[in-house]
């Protein structure tokens, strides 16, 4: 349904996107995950036809961006990263303003505004000025504004940045609801937990390049079979000595009495280690099995932490 084919986009000397391709199927809740400056907003702006690529082509339902019609543009709803609301107008007035931009007929607009205000849980606050709203509430009105014209494709650019946990959960539930009624959603974030929790398929982007794409499970497979366990011990351990005994594992010191063990099939071989510790009169105070995650994958593929 949405296809980016070999997109390159430069801003002066900065290459925001470099031969970047991915596709999103109809009804999919798709995540675009990457650190600040990766090219997420540029991708959203290209998809919403605010800007055009230098090279490559974007297809919506098989039709090239070069031939985009108003109807095609109207099938897209954008929730931009920057909040686009007037502080001195009420929530209702702001939505009326956006509805006029989308040229929604007056009567229909009235119903849509009510519907959207209820969806974002702020109908009761509709007459209050935006400047009295919290960051999370502004975000929710921003979402309502982007969905007024009932688009089939929804582009959300980091909608939870600067949002309190309650609004964040509310926004998540809303997105799930929109997904359930069949909307196609692209969700950008630099929080790997959000992408993992919410999205069916995820594209990882860094410095304008696609690093990896797939379902969570497919992405975890790229990590290989290596597992990680963190042990907190009753006393300090001579790492060199234990490494000597368990050559198949990588063992490192994390802090005093805390060690990290990495290796293949670790869970099944753990008894060797626990037996050794017991013999050395060292107790395991705490044991954490670190599940594979996208943070680790990002580190493996780029050599950098996802979070600066």
Ligand X SMILES: Nc1ncnc2c1ncn2[C@@H]1O[C@H](COP(=O)(O)OP(=O)(O)O)[C@@H](O)[C@H]1O
Q: How far apart are the first and last CA of the chain?
A: 34
Closest separation in Å from C-beta 271 to ligand X: 45
Nearer to ligand X, 14 or 264 (CB): 14
Question: Distance (Å, rounded) from C-alpha 17 to C-alpha 97?
Answer: 33
Q: Is 173 helix (H, G, I), strand (E, B) or coil?
A: helix
Closest separation in Å from C-beta 45 to Mg ion: 9
Q: Is 14 in the site for ligand X (CB under 6 A)?
A: yes
- H helix intervals, the chain: 40-47, 70-74, 91-101, 106-119, 135-147, 165-180, 192-198, 216-221, 239-245, 266-279, 294-302
Give the contacts of 40 (CB within 8 A, at least 6 positions apart).
32, 34, 157, 158, 188, 189, 190, 205
Nearer to ligand X, 95 or 205 (CB): 205
Nearer to ligand X, 81 or 152 (CB): 81
Residue 36 touches which member of ligand X, Mg ion, none, C-beta under 5-8 Å by kind: ligand X
Cβ–Cβ < 8 Å for 137, 94: no
Cβ–Cβ < 8 Å for 202, 294: yes
Nearer to ligand X, 82 or 238 (CB): 82
> Taking CB under 5 A as the rule, which mask of x and - marks residues 30-69 in contact with Mg ion?
----------xx----------------------------
Scanning residues 24 to 83, which ones bind ligand X (CB under 6 A)? 34, 36-42
The residue from 11, 50, 86, 245 that contacts ligand X (CB under 6 A) is 11
Name the residue among 232, 271, 226, 233 with its Cα closest to residue 249. Answer: 226
**Which span sits near Mg ion by CB under 5 A: 21-29, 76-84, 105-113, 263-271?**
76-84
Q: Which two tokens stand for residue 58?
A: 């974007």
Closest separation in Å from C-beta 81 to ligand X: 7
Closest separation in Å from C-beta 150 to ligand X: 26
Running DSSP on this structure, what letter comes out for residue 51? S
For Mg ion, the binding residues (CB under 5 A) are 40-41, 81
For ligand X, the binding residues (CB under 6 A) are 11, 14, 16, 34, 36-42
């Amino acid at each position: 349904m949405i296809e980016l084919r070999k997109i390159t986009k430069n801003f002066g000397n900065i290459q925001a996107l470099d031969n970047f391709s991915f596709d999103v199927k109809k009804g999919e809740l798709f995540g675009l995950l990457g650190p600040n400056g990766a090219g997420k907003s540029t991708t959203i702006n290209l998809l919403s036809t605010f800007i055009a690529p230098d090279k490559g082509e974007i297809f919506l339902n098989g039709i090239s961006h070069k031939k985009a019609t108003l109807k095609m543009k109207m099938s897209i709803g954008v929730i931009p990263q920057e909040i686009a609301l007037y502080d001195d107008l009420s929530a209702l007035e702001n939505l009326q303003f956006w509805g006029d931009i989308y040229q929604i007929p007056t009567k229909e607009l009235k119903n849509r505004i009510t519907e959207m205000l209820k969806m974002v849980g702020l109908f009761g606050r509709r007459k209050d000025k935006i400047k009295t709203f919290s960051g999370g509430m502004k975000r929710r009105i921003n979402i309502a504004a982007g969905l007024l014209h009932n688009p089939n494709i929804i582009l959300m650019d980091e909608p939870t940045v600067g949002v309190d946990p309650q609004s964040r959960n509310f926004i998540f539930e809303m997105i799930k609801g929109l997904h359930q009624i069949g909307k196609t959603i692209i969700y950008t974030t630099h929080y790997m937990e959000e992408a993992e929790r919410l999205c069916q398929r995820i594209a990882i982007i860094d410095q304008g390049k696609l690093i990896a794409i797939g379902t969570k499970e497919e992405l975890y497979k790229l990590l290989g079979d290596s597992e990680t366990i963190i042990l907190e011990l009753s006393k300090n351990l001579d790492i060199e000595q234990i490494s000597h005994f368990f050559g198949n594992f990588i063992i490192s010191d994390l802090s005093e009495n805390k060690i990290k063990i990495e290796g293949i099939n670790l869970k099944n071989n753990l008894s060797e280690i626990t037996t050794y510790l017991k013999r050395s009169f060292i107790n395991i105070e705490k044991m954490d099995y670190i599940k594979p995650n996208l943070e680790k994958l990002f580190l493996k593929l780029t050599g950098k932490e996802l979070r600066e």
